[in-house]
Structure 1
Amino acid sequence: MQKWYPQIQPGKAPAFLRLLEAIEKDISSGTLASGTKLPTQRDLAERLGLSVGTVIKAYAEGQRRSLLIGHVGRGTFVAEQRQNSQSRGRVVDLSLNIPGPSILPKVLAGSTWTFPNEISDYVGYLSQSGVLDHRVQFARLLRETGFDTSPDNLVITNGALQGISLTLSAICQPKDKVFVEATTYHGMKSYAHFARLDLVGLPMDEEGLVPDAFEKAAASGAARVLFTMPTVQSSTAAIMGPARRQEIVRIARKHDILIIEDDAYGFLDQASVPLASLAPERTFYVNTLSKCLAPGLRLGMLIVPEQYIPRIHQAMRATCWMASPISSMIASEWIENGTAAKVRQSLIQEAKKRVKLASQILRPYVRAGHPTSFHVWLDLPSGSVEQVSARALQRGVITTPTSALLVDPTLISGLRISIGVPDRLEDLEWALRQLAGALEVSHEADMSII
């Protein structure tokens, strides 16, 4: 498909207005269809011999006039004028993977919980691993969600991402390669870029990471670390079956690959056995309270193979010394008094309802994933993903930028839809129906090209 560039007419009007007039003319004539992604500001400026500032002003004025729509990290697109009235200013965010933000406040509203009196015990500098009593409670939470572990190798972290960064800083050097699924946790991508690590995306299927592809990559010696999410994968919601987990562990042992297992959504499938249970000697197990309790606690758990504990403690001391013992105290109280379990059960029930609703409205685009999840994956042709996102945004629905998740776009193409943030099911249903309309328009456009 030939790239579009406008034909600017000479005149006395400022250059940015003449550029905008050319864009508007091509929109009116149908040369620029709704959802078309425009060239980047720098690309267009260089092509037309204009300053970048001129193009920025033209694009900004186009957005003000509702001709264009821009999204950070995604680009500038032609707006869908005929659909402006459909959202009527209503906006629903389906980009943030935050399960049920209103559930914890509802549970606390019905409790008699008060701030513990022993807060004075936790205002100083304490152990890098966290207070032992708190680690006991965190280990209890993991046992309740299907992972029988000890507090001895448990380090309380400032969320899952710190657990991941501590592990990578302990076992990797800059320019090392790390195996990951073809689409992965955006925090992993961000940290890898910051730490100058190269991610190698591997093929996925309905169960997640494909063993044959992992075996081939591991045999090449390209990397000695695998980051994986075997339970409710953060993009596709795929879940590894028991045989697949055994095979991944076998390959890792055969080729001496260390595993970082992100089990943030493990509480949604408590029957699955973590890789850390199958290969504790080589698996760094990462979990978080952000998904099963509250992201505002900023707490996670890292289960460390015994030989790496000193290195992890050193990394913790060098970065932040410890996770907040006051937050840990609050979380421990909620685990002990049953608040965490009530929130978890409410989240599980809510997830089931939301996946069912999304599957009904977005069929046949939804990839089969876990029936209890706060996100679904839409399989889409690579050429239509950005257009669907732009059309959804014009209808008032914000989706996750594909670039935030994809590691190897040649292996998978699609869009993750997060269904946990809207408090009311009516709002979620409205957003999903708007998204379905955007998908239908995109499908019709694709068929017209055929």
Structure 2
Amino acid sequence: MDTIWPELDAATGPKYKILADSIRGATAAGTLAEGARLPPVRDLAYQLNVTPGTVARAYAVLAGEGVLTAGVGRGTFVAPKTRPRPSPVDDVWSKETPPDDVYTVSLFSPRIPDVGQARAIRAALAQVGAADPLRLLNYPTRDSYRLVREAVVNWLADVPLGPVDPEDVVLTNGGQNGICVALQSILEGPSPTILVEDLSYAGFRRAAELMRAEVVGVAMDAQGVLPEALDEAARRTGAQVFCTTPEVQNPTGTFCPLERRQALIAVAERHGMQILEDDCYRIGTSRAPCYRALAPERGWYVSTLSKILTPALRVGYALAPRERSGDLRKAAEYGYFGLSEPLAEVTRILLSDPDTLELCRRARERIAEYVRLAVNALGRFDLSWDDEVPFLWLHLPQGWRAAAFCRAAEAAGVQIRSADEFALRTGRAPHAVRIAVNCQVSKTSFENAMQRLRSLLDNPPEQISV
């Protein structure tokens, strides 16, 4: 077996890739036979004069490809050419992708395409599984997450957040958990109030309900919340925080420009109010500085990997104003003791891999292709859209009301969300719907769904139903 190992000292390029190529070639040529056991990570690292992490990463890549198989306490082996029959538990994870001619298409929430991230996640999970077993058996400490927080800071390097240190980052179980932790850090008193956009992400309301806070909607236009309306609401309610989605407003997809943000900050300063920014739906480049950069003493920030890499991992991150970072950390540590350490390590591997940026670029390209398919079908109606926003906002033509249109669309095999789902219970919603992009069905199926929506829009009911 010694003859298959490459000379890595003089190698150019990533050493783990060279090692993986060598093992892959040896298995293809039969030099490494099915079932052959590979050396332990530390032994091979010593033999090749590389770090154990290099060998572990090469093994993990090959395990993700199915070339190798690993078992805790057993070692790493060349995988059999034919896959064994899955156990009943495996069956849950081995269902085939829906066929291209699927009729019912869910457009409730964006579904991102697999452009290689599933393979990368498998490889990262395999790498974590091959780590020191004690890391899978002990409670994590705050220092356990240091490298993960550093990876998040590097990941956010192009986001205009103001100064950010790894100690400022709080890892959360998705963006919704980040919102909850931020509100727990901000709200105080027996009956706090939060302000939200008149049409807004329902998660703000749900988080507020958990904390027994009142939610008040604020009037908005195409650029976001109206400063005078925010001023009046803050004066009337004494609200402690304004929750907003300025980069990609959910559900309308609109953008809040810098001048409007500055006007809203002036209102917040007059009333001593905090600003919580939900940046989860931005999948492209930031177009204006975040509130945390514009108003360092009152800007809070929450985002996630769910909309561009995968929502399955449930990984997010939250940032507080510098002087409130301790409050945010305490809320997280008291609430859930931190992210699962194996999950945090998978996150570190993904965010540290330069290939992940390329995966995000390819995902954005695919999402843009589907957005254009929707625009081609529905563009002559009152439609708001952007290539880098994974949903569209459609104001319905005369004759349709939102609830009736959603029922008719579902009967036609297309599931979409009514504007009512984004309005407060006491608020008024326009006759509009949000159409999310589903890149997990074929373009043909997605385009067929758009044609069915267009047919409904072209043929409103003779009588308006409520």
TM-score (structure 2 length as normaliser): 0.70
Partner of 2:341: 325
- Among 176, 186, 191, the alignment partner of 1:171 is 186
Partner of 1:133: 147
- Among 320, 323, 347, the alignment partner of 1:304 is 320
Which letter maps to 1:164? I
1:417 aligns with 2:431: no
Which letter maps to 2:432? G
SS of the equivalent of 2:249 reads: coil
The structural deviation recorded for 1:147 is: 4.2
Asked if 1 retains the 8 angstrom alpha-carbon contact of 2:223 and 2:257, the reply is yes
Partner of 1:142: 156
SS of the equivalent of 1:349 reads: helix
Partner of 1:153: 168
Rounded Cα–Cα distance in structure 2 between residues aligned with 1:89 and 1:330: 33
Partner of 1:397: 414
Which letter maps to 1:419? V
Residue-by-residue CA offset, 1:104-152 (whole Å, 9 max, x unaligned):
4466399899514545474332345961111010111111455463222
Identify if the C-alpha distance between structure 1 residues 421 and 439 changes in structure 2 by more than 3 Å, giving closer, same or farther: same
Cα root mean square deviation, aligned: 2.8
Partner of 2:64: none
Identify if the C-alpha distance between structure 1 residues 306 and 360 changes in structure 2 by more than 3 Å, giving closer, same or farther: same
Rounded Cα–Cα distance in structure 2 between residues aligned with 1:232 and 1:332: 26
Asked if 2 retains the 8 angstrom alpha-carbon contact of 1:94 and 1:419, the reply is yes
The structural deviation recorded for 1:348 is: 1.7
The structural deviation recorded for 1:379 is: 1.6
SS of the equivalent of 1:295 reads: coil
Residue-by-residue CA offset, 1:66-121 (whole Å, 9 max, x unaligned):
xxxxxxxxxxxxxxxxxxxxxx9820000023333x23446639989951454547
Asked if 1 retains the 8 angstrom alpha-carbon contact of 2:391 and 2:434, the reply is yes
Structure 1 vs Structure 2: percent identity of aligned residues? Answer: 23
Rounded Cα–Cα distance in structure 2 between residues aligned with 1:382 and 1:287: 38
What are the equivalent positions in structure 2 for 1:366-445 lying under 5 Å apart?
366-380=382-396, 384-407=401-424, 409-410=427-428, 412-442=430-460, 445=462
The structural deviation recorded for 1:238 is: 0.8
Identify if the C-alpha distance between structure 1 residues 412 and 118 changes in structure 2 by more than 3 Å, giving closer, same or farther: same
The structural deviation recorded for 1:354 is: 2.3
Partner of 1:95: 108
In terms of mean alpha carbon deviation, does 372-381 or 159-168 score higher? Answer: 372-381
1:275 aligns with 2:309: no
Asked if 2 retains the 8 angstrom alpha-carbon contact of 1:376 and 1:416, the reply is yes
Which letter maps to 2:107? L
Rounded Cα–Cα distance in structure 1 between residues aligned with 2:373 and 2:410: 20
Asked if 1 retains the 8 angstrom alpha-carbon contact of 2:161 and 2:290, the reply is yes
In terms of mean alpha carbon deviation, does 199-208 or 140-149 score higher? Answer: 140-149
In terms of mean alpha carbon deviation, does 105-114 or 388-397 score higher? Answer: 105-114
Which letter maps to 1:394? A
TM-score (structure 1 length as normaliser): 0.72
Residue-by-residue CA offset, 1:404-440 (whole Å, 9 max, x unaligned):
3222642644211111344322221111111122222
Aligned residues, how many? 359
In terms of mean alpha carbon deviation, does 427-436 or 399-408 score higher? Answer: 399-408
Identify if the C-alpha distance between structure 1 residues 139 and 438 changes in structure 2 by more than 3 Å, giving closer, same or farther: same
Unaligned runs of at least 5 residues, structure 1: 1-87
Rounded Cα–Cα distance in structure 2 between residues aligned with 1:424 and 1:210: 40
Rounded Cα–Cα distance in structure 2 between residues aligned with 1:181 and 1:188: 10
What are the equivalent positions in structure 2 for 1:2-21 lying under 5 Å apart?
none
The structural deviation recorded for 1:264 is: 0.7
Asked if 1 retains the 8 angstrom alpha-carbon contact of 2:298 and 2:321, the reply is yes
SS of the equivalent of 2:300 reads: strand
Partner of 1:338: 354
Which structure is higher in RCO with an 8 Å CA cutoff and minimum separation 6?
1
What are the equivalent positions in structure 2 for 1:31-110 lying under 5 Å apart?
90-100=103-113, 102-105=114-117, 108=120
Rounded Cα–Cα distance in structure 2 between residues aligned with 1:138 and 1:290: 14
Rounded Cα–Cα distance in structure 1 between residues aligned with 2:279 and 2:124: 31
